[in-house]
Amino acid sequence: MAEAGSRVVIADRQSWVLKEADAMVGSLGSEPAGYVCNPSDQGSVEALVEEVWDTCKRIDVLVNVFRTPQGKPLTQTGEADYQGVMDRNFKPVYLFCRFIGVKMLSQGGGKIINISNNMAERGLAESSVYCASQGAILQLSRALALEWGRNNIRVNVIGTGWSSTEEIEPEEAQKELLVRYIPLRRKGHPRDIGPLLVYLASDSCDYTTGQPIYVDGGLMAHP
């Protein structure tokens, strides 16, 4: 997004993440702006949105990336486990869409891209609550696409598969059994979704809304 000319604002729980992200954004020519925020707390999110609005005067694009995996049989999943997964994965998406949605409605439009996982539509044993959290993101996005379509707000989802930020040679990567299940025989990398993210945020994508687009190496093609 910074390479494409956007002014990028980043929010995260951890200040060290913001420091690294600000450095990367700054190296690409964008004015860095990082905010520490608890994305699961309504007051924290609302305060952040108001501060960014006061500073930037517009919020044209919202990208939500909240994903903490959880693997546990449902019979061993307590209420605290359930609430923790939903608070980390779904609630932040709901809160940011809600408060930034108000700003986009007032300015006459915007683009929302929610990053999810192909578990939004595929099941995975011993990950039922995690799958439910991803499905909730997808369904929220579809519903908001209908709710805000006439207000020039487009809402779409990028669904990812197994991914890694590590740089691994193809021959070495394919030694992992999991990688052999992926049709393209490698895990995804953040750079695989970058061009799609820019497209979905651009004026070239004004007729696409409510859609999940999977960048998962072909996993969704499996039965």
26 within domain boundaries: no
pLDDT at 193: 92
pLDDT at 179: 82
Whether the per-residue pLDDT at 89 is higher than 90: the answer is yes
Whether the per-residue pLDDT at 146 is higher than 90: the answer is yes
pLDDT at 99: 98
96 within domain boundaries: yes
109 within domain boundaries: yes
Whether the per-residue pLDDT at 180 is higher than 90: the answer is no
d(CA 46, CA 52): 10
d(CA 172, CA 187): 12
49-58, 94-103, 187-196: least confident range: 187-196
48 within domain boundaries: no
199 within domain boundaries: yes
Domain holding 118, by residue range, is: 60-221
Give the total number of structural domains in the chain.
Answer: 1
pLDDT at 71: 85
- CA end-to-end span of the chain: 34
Among 35, 82, 94, 130, the active-site one is 130
40 within domain boundaries: no
Whether the per-residue pLDDT at 113 is higher than 90: the answer is yes
Query: What CATH number is associated with residue 175?
Result: 3.40.50.720
70-74, 148-152, 208-212: least confident range: 70-74
Q: Is the dihedral of CA 23, 56, 199, 153 positive or negative?
A: positive
Across 72-95, average pLDDT: 94
d(CA 198, CA 219): 23
Which of 39, 222, 57 is closest to 48 using CA atoms?
39
Annotation marks residue 130 as catalytic: yes
DSSP-derived secondary structure for 116-147: EEGGGTS--TT-HHHHHHHHHHHHHHHHHHHH
pLDDT at 59: 96
With left for phi above 0 and alpha for psi between -120 and 50, is residue 157 left, alpha or beta?
Answer: beta
pLDDT band at 143 (very low <50, low <70, confident <90, very high): very high
For the stretch 12-54, pLDDT in tens is: 999 998 999 889 888 988 887 899 999 999 999 999 999 999 9
Across 140-152, average pLDDT: 98
d(CA 21, CA 165): 14
pLDDT at 28: 87
21 within domain boundaries: no
Across 191-200, average pLDDT: 94
Residue 150, number of CB atoms within 10 A of its CB: 7
d(CA 213, CA 120): 12
120 within domain boundaries: yes
Q: What percent of the chain has pLDDT over 70?
A: 98
pLDDT band at 137 (very low <50, low <70, confident <90, very high): very high
Tell me which of 189 and 97 has the higher pLDDT: 97
Tell me which of 177 and 86 has the higher pLDDT: 86
